[in-house]
Amino acid sequence: MPVAVARAPSSATMSVFMDKTKDDDDNVSEQVRLEDQHETVIYAMSGQPLYAPIDLSRPGLRILDSACANGRWIKDLQALSPAKHQYVGTDVVESLYPKPAPEGTQFLDQSIKEPFPEAWNGTFDLVHQRLVMAAAAPERTPAYVVGNLAGLLREGGWLQMVEVATAPLPQNPVSQNQYVDMLDTLYSKLYAGSEYDRTNIMSGLPQEMRNAGLKNIQQKEVIVSYGAAVADPDIRQRSLRTAVAGVPNFLSVLRKMSSEVWKPEWDDLQSRLYRDLKEQGGYMRYIVCWGQK
């Protein structure tokens, strides 16, 4: 398993984001953001939380959602599955876990920056992780995280990962592409001075899976719509809220970096982004990638 640790020239880490959401209201607002984010992404994925071709009709599968947050992905998968399985959700913020836990589900504290319990290696039929890779930076690289997750799979098991592909789209309003650029800068500069200090680093997930020894790797680009670009009125409102909710926290991380990183257009990004998405709508590329042990 890779053990590479990236170099960090500053104190900037995604823990600034997590600490802020907890200190403000003990993650109450974060719960709302997570629900909105989940509904927005699943809507774009046509209601399918799982693309990996695993047979959910076979009972007794062992399924892990790494960085599960409030467990919504597990809840949706349970609703789709015709058989009962053993579900495990891991995260570092216990206050996000649903209480009581759904039947057949266990929630445990586990950071993606640390090795999983040795007894878990080679025991899972399905491992899932979504929109959390940046939280490993700068201490751990994507190679470490993917290798860590791949090691949990038994032979024939599947790993599915979902992340934002930080590349602009021509149909976006200016503010939306500035938001994409802000995320791209954040992701790369968290790894400043390392091989991951490059644009659109999440597009490398398929290769990271190959390097971790997985096979039958596939990927799908999902275009997630926001604001006025969404037909469903409930999802339209949810997408608008989740699109702007994380901006102040992302910017708080960037402010911890060198002053050379900061761009003037970020000063009023949140207000312009909200206005443009509400009036015009916008889009974001997501990469869904899956591979087999």
pLDDT tens for the chain, 293 residues: list them. Answer: 444 444 444 456 666 656 655 565 567 788 899 999 999 999 999 999 999 999 999 999 999 999 999 999 999 999 999 999 999 999 998 989 999 999 999 999 999 999 999 999 999 999 999 999 999 999 999 999 999 999 999 999 999 999 999 999 999 999 999 999 999 999 999 999 999 999 999 999 999 999 999 999 999 999 999 999 999 999 999 999 999 999 999 999 999 999 999 999 999 999 999 999 999 999 999 999 999 99
Hunting for tokens 């586990």 — which residue is that? 110
3-state helix, strand, coil in the chain (%, to 5): 40, 20, 40
Separation of alpha carbons 213 and 255, rounded Å: 37
Separation of alpha carbons 239 and 255, rounded Å: 26
Helix (H, G, I), strand (E, B) or coil at 288: strand
Cβ distance 54 to 126 under 8 Å? yes
CA-closest candidate to residue 160, choices 172, 150, 174: 150
Q: What pLDDT is recorded for position 205?
A: 98
| Cβ-based burial of 206 (10 A; exposed 0-12, middle 13-18, buried ≥19) | middle
| Phi and psi angles of residue 174, each rounded to the nearest 5 degrees, phi first | -55, -45
| Phi and psi angles of residue 219, each rounded to the nearest 5 degrees, phi first | -145, 155
In this structure, the chain runs to a length of 293
Helix (H, G, I), strand (E, B) or coil at 73: helix
